[in-house]
Amino acid sequence: MKMTTISNIKEAMNDYPDLIKYKDHIKTPLDKDESHIFFINDCYMIKAYKELKRLDYLEILHEQLHKEDVFIAYPIRNHDHKLFTKIDGGFIVVFHYIKGQPLSETSDKRSISKLIGKAIALLHNALTRVEGSKLHIANLDNTYQTFVLPNIKSFYDELDYLKFEKMLTPFYEKTYVDLEKQIIHRDMHLDNMIITPNEHIGFIDFDIHEMNTRVFDLCYLMTSLYPSFLREENGVDHWLQFMKGVICSYHQVNPLSDKGIKTLLVMNPPYG
């Protein structure tokens, strides 16, 4: 998708009577004229989409999570009471932004690991009550081949990688594919988690949500954090402490099956 310009967004604001007065406050994350995401005074977030695919279901998901009191960036309807507004080359959706900071910007992530685990567990609980019969069902085999194995290979030399691959593939074939499925966030990293001043954690960017096993979100979070922890002294130990806090607090709120716990341990190299 080609980038959307600020001038496109300003024009679209005519469809949002309450936001017209903020036209001159629209900014991109890097202060450029073009982007896929825009902000207004840290109060609103505007996302540009190429097509309407999945937007209808995104609306259902946001409405249900809002009813469940899950902290999310909730979409605002335009003057036609629609979730989206047509712009040149695509569509936009305007969201109320969560006031706080991305967890990626917090200095001591280990101190809030239990908050993170509890927040993800509550989100997953709420997502079980969202009707998902028409939702995309993940191709787990494709995920394993194109995401899990390549990520492991990037951290290890060929011999160590082959050892992991020899261990993981039989496990995946026997266990991972049999785990219970539900709607998940699918892009669970710290940039998509916002912590408020009173330490509530909210979630943004549900664009690629899908039917998948819920431990995928936890595995994704683990692997996304591993490289940053490796840059620290005793980084692997710190990573393990952080993830122990996340998993234990998650399990207290939303218990994992034995197969789910085993998957978390095996699918993350420092554990396995």
Residuewise pLDDT in 10s, the chain (272 residues): 568 999 999 999 999 999 999 999 999 987 778 899 999 998 999 999 988 877 878 888 998 998 888 999 999 999 999 999 999 989 999 999 998 999 999 888 889 999 999 999 999 999 999 887 667 677 666 777 787 778 777 777 787 778 777 777 776 677 766 788 899 999 999 999 999 999 999 999 999 999 888 998 998 898 888 888 878 888 888 888 999 999 999 999 999 998 888 888 776 655 54
Interatomic CA distance for residues 173 and 195, integer angstroms:
37
Q: Cα–Cα distance between 246 and 223 in angstroms, integer?
A: 13
Residue 157 to residues 16, 162, 164, 168: CA-CA distances in angstroms? 54, 9, 11, 16
Region of 163 please: left (phi>0), alpha (psi -120 to 50) or beta: alpha
Q: Under a CB-based contact definition with an 8 Å cutoff, are residues 243 and 113 in contact?
A: yes
Pick from 200, 247, 201: which is nearest to 222 by CA?
A: 247
Tens of pLDDT along 85-94?
Answer: 999 989 999 9
- Kindly report, residue by residue over 132-141, the tens digit of the pLDDT: 766 767 766 6
Task: Determine the Cα–Cα distance for residues 32 and 20; give it in Å rounded to an integer.
Answer: 21
Please tell me the predicted confidence (pLDDT) of residue 232: 84
Task: Map tokens 């039989």 to a residue.
Answer: 170
> Measuring CA to CA, which residue among 207, 210, 220 is closest to residue 95?
207
What are the tens digits of pLDDT across the range 57-71? Answer: 888 899 899 888 899
pLDDT of residue 269: 54
- DSSP-H helix ranges across 156-234: 158-174, 215-230
For 90, 129, 206, the CA distances from 200, given in Å and listed in that order, are: 34, 21, 18
How many angstroms separate the CA atoms of 232 and 254, rounded?
Answer: 31
What is the model's pLDDT at position 242? 92
| DSSP labels, 138-178 | P-HHHHIIIIIHHHHHHHS-HHHHHHHHHHHHHHHHHTGGG
Least Cα distance to 176 among 141, 151, 222 occurs for 141
